[in-house]
Amino acid sequence: MSTKYKAEYIWLDGYTPVPNLRSKTKILEFEEFPKLEDLPIWGFDGSSTLQADGGDSDCMLKPVAFFPDPTRRNGLLVMSEVMLPDCETPHPSNTRAPILDDPDAWFGFEQEYFLFQHGKPIGFPSDGFPGPQGEYYCGAGFKNIGELAREIVEEHLDICLDAGINHEGINAEVAKGQWEFQVFGKGSRTAADQIWVARYILVRLCEKYGVDVEFHCKPIRGDWNGSGMHCNFSTKYMREVGGKEYFESLMAAFQKRMDEHIAVYGPENHLRLTGLHETQSIDKFTYGLADRGSSIRVPHAFKNAGYKGYLEDRRPNSQGDPYQIASRILKTISEVPTS
């Protein structure tokens, strides 16, 4: 007996510099739980998403990853690339199709964000500001967490885990009303797909709480931490061979390509990368052992293993496109000889 599935096609629209997540549901019927190749390409009105003109408005959605949707009976979450009407040519707004991918490259993204209600982060008083930063990071108690926040964060975690999103953890962050979740994936597209779907799940979940997710990298100006999306990365060579000489060559390549990295690490990053609040200035490139004020943080485990393992790029911000971030990192790594 066949089953009707509610397939929620998710895509990125044509807004810049930060695309919005869009979605719509298609009812599909299958004899058994579908595979990715079973999901059809589907069209949408690109003139309503800044991706086409009204006189020639057809755009197409190509499924590239999907997950069960625990919040709906027989639901599917279908991450899709936007294609031109020939269904073969990527739309100019499609940042996934052209990225450099390496299935042996591992990425861990640390997605920070604020939960906003009534124009302020959850936990902020109606007038003014709460107490200064200090007790909020990984904090507990109403005075540190505020109303609704933990309920939302825990429900988001459960939905993502049930969907098969590879979450590795969650925590309250340094500023009040700020939180983080971490997603790990093998392959740049895999990790980035999961970040986008996890973002979508969070935004959709917050609808029922009357809460907005604020991904801007510096929504609260002044002496408050901004939001990043630190990117932990490694390649097979970094994990298995590495070495100090290779590491130093890699850092030289990252310094050479500093501007290219910053260009895809999220908009208005100058507001966050100031040299304060655990950041390096946007116009400098540094690396340091366990140094959260450097562009690249080198874990003690990396050095102790003979300069093998993973590194953390702390410059990407919370609005960054993980497709472009991972691709740029791999492009820079590819410039460094491995023999």
pLDDT of residue 295: 98
Q: What's 318's DSSP letter? A: T
How far is residue 215 from each of residues 10, 116, 254, 258, 299, measured CA to CA in Å?
A: 18, 10, 26, 23, 27
**Residues forming CATH 3.30.590.10 domain(s) in the chain:** 106-334
Q: Which amino acid is at 102?
A: D
pLDDT of residue 132: 94
Backbone angles phi, psi at 297, to 5 degrees: -90, 130
d(CA 78, CA 214): 23
- pLDDT tens, residue by residue, 157-195: 999 999 999 999 999 999 999 999 999 999 999 999 999
pLDDT band at 339 (very low <50, low <70, confident <90, very high): confident
- pLDDT tens, residue by residue, 25-53: 999 999 999 999 999 999 999 999 999 99
pLDDT band at 15 (very low <50, low <70, confident <90, very high): very high
- pTM score, whole prediction: 0.97
Backbone angles phi, psi at 192, to 5 degrees: -70, -40
Is pLDDT above 90 for 197?
A: yes
pLDDT of residue 101: 82
Backbone angles phi, psi at 194, to 5 degrees: -70, -35
pLDDT of residue 145: 93
State mean pLDDT over 136-161: 96
As assigned by CATH, the class of the 106-334 domain is: alpha beta
pLDDT of residue 100: 80
- pLDDT tens, residue by residue, 283-309: 999 999 999 999 999 999 999 999 999
What is the C-alpha end-to-end distance of the chain, expressed in Å? 57
Mean pLDDT for the chain? 97
Backbone angles phi, psi at 149, to 5 degrees: -55, -55
State mean pLDDT over 132-145: 95
**Residues forming CATH 3.10.20.70 domain(s) in the chain:** 3-83
Is pLDDT above 90 for 1?
A: no
State mean pLDDT over 137-142: 96
- pLDDT tens, residue by residue, 211-264: 999 999 999 999 999 999 999 999 999 999 999 999 999 999 999 999 999 999
What residues contact 212, with CB distance under 8 A and at least 6 apart? 115, 116, 117, 206
Tell me the pairing of strands 212-214 and 178-186.
Answer: unpaired
In this structure, which topology does domain 3-83 adopt according to CATH?
A: Ubiquitin-like (UB roll) (3.10.20)
Nearest Cα neighbor of 166 from 131, 199, 191, 138 is 191
